Structure 1
Amino acid sequence: MDFTREQALNEARIAASRAENLARYAESAAHNFDNRPQVPMFAAAGAVWADTARAYAALAAVLPETAPETEGTDV
């Protein structure tokens, strides 16, 4: 199975969402003295997911657009 542009974009969206969630966790932990030791872990994990999102977006940018499938067309 070939990796399509749409699949790469979907993976980029998922990774960006995870990065966003981890950034929120890091921010929340930063405001709570007891949870401050967790901030670097959340930030590092969020950075990895952000890098992953950028990588998938770059991959999607170079992949050709997926042609829409046409039903009932004999080729």
Structure 2
Amino acid sequence: MKLIDQRGNHKCHHGHSIGDEFDFDADRGKLCPMAMHTAFPYVDILRYGGNVPNSEDYGKIAFCCPDADVINVFEIDVISN
């Protein structure tokens, strides 16, 4: 996951900045709990080979943090091992 945009009027309360990258499984303590909670359904769908509706690129999806003051936009990209 990568933070690709910030659209709110405030800085992230958890300290995230554009360009920050996270491994959903390995960085659980580093990623804001609100973003983690929002990302989970998308990660789960992609992890098991599904495709998220309205995603133009298979294995990639953007989503927003639920904090209306900050509106961090994250992108999830599936990395094959």
TM-score w.r.t. the length of structure 1 is 0.30
Structure number with higher strand proportion: 2
Q: Kindly indicate whether structure 1 or structure 2 has the higher relative contact order, using CA contacts under 8 Å at least 6 residues apart.
A: 1
TM-score w.r.t. the length of structure 2 is 0.28
Structure with larger Rg: 1
